[in-house]
Structure 1
Amino acid sequence: MTHHVKTILANGIVIGILCSLIFAAGTWWRMQNQLALGDDAYRRGDFPGAVAGYESALHMYIPMHPAMEHAARQLWNIAEYNERIGDITRALIAYRSLRSSFYAAHWLITPGQDWIRRCDMKIAALAPLQQER
């Protein structure tokens, strides 16, 4: 291998690593921003804003990051609250949002399998109730 080829390969590796780091940092920043928007909307009682913020945070899926569990748990809490007060439509929106967020984060695996199963059970139980109205 000539010196010229080695230089090109080394530069390519450095550029690849830098691009990966920039992509990861951008994903982390967007996830944190959306999570903060969701938390702020949740505190204000803004249902659409909270669901959108948490859903968007989950779309920026970072494996094993505690924000993923936080966003999922908050969406679940929103859904359960609306279910308890009898707002089946909003409960279904939140359960479906949580489930679809993990499907959207699919890459080599689909994360959040337990959340997906729990949402599927809730959706199956609530969907017929919504149609009765």
Structure 2
Amino acid sequence: MAKKLALNIALVAVVSIVLLWGNTLYRQHVQFDKGEKAYAAGDFVGAVAGYDAAIHMYTPGSSLVERAAQKLWEIAEVCERSGDVPRALVAYRSLRSAFYGVAGLYSPGTDWIAKCDARIAGLVQRQQGQR
């Protein structure tokens, strides 16, 4: 009897985890698609929000996290090259904070965080020098 109960509890736990993972992965795809559509339309705020949210829907093994991070980095670099420092800072900070937001027992994106910290420091210094 106790064995059957333990098996049922384990089965319910596994099914729950699979459903949670699947739901999160689905929402990650939805947010990434929103970012893609906004980026294609030239909507800076929508693109940053979509890619940021896709990273926040972190699921182990999903390639979308890396793709969303790359897109945010690309947006930030485009803004930086065009001289739009405030928007570049928004994109770099969004990328950095997205990875801070998903940190737990494991901290993904530490390389992205380090890259963003370096760019943010340089841009802030540049911005202060212009004042």
The range that moved more, 58-67 or 43-52, is 58-67
Amino acid at match of 2:43: D
Could you say what secondary structure the match of 1:6 adopts?
helix
**How much does 1:128 deviate?**
2.5
Please state if 1:8 is matched with 2:8: no
Q: Which of 38, 44, 55 is 1:58 aligned to? A: 55
Match of 1:26 in 2: 23
Q: Which of 98, 111, 124 is 2:95 aligned to? A: 98
TM-score by length of 2: 0.94
**How much does 1:55 deviate?**
0.2
Match of 1:118 in 2: 115
**How much does 1:91 deviate?**
0.1
Please state if 1:75 is matched with 2:59: no
**How much does 1:130 deviate?**
2.9
Amino acid at match of 2:90: I
Please state if 1:89 is matched with 2:91: no
Question: Identity, % of aligned pairs?
Answer: 46
Q: How many residues align?
A: 130
Q: Per the alignment, do residues 64 and 13 of structure 1 end up closer, same or farther by CA in structure 2, a change over 3 Å counting?
A: closer
Structure 1: how far apart are the matches of 2:122 and 2:57? 29
Structure 2: how far apart are the matches of 1:119 and 1:64? 23
Structure 1: how far apart are the matches of 2:31 and 2:19? 18
Runs of 4+ residues deviating >6 angstroms: none
**How much does 1:99 deviate?**
0.5
Structure 2: how far apart are the matches of 1:110 and 1:42? 27
RMSD value over aligned CA atoms?
Answer: 1.1
Q: Which has the larger radius of gyration?
A: 1
Structure 2: how far apart are the matches of 1:18 and 1:44? 39
Structure 2: how far apart are the matches of 1:63 and 1:25? 11
Gaps of 5+ in 1: none
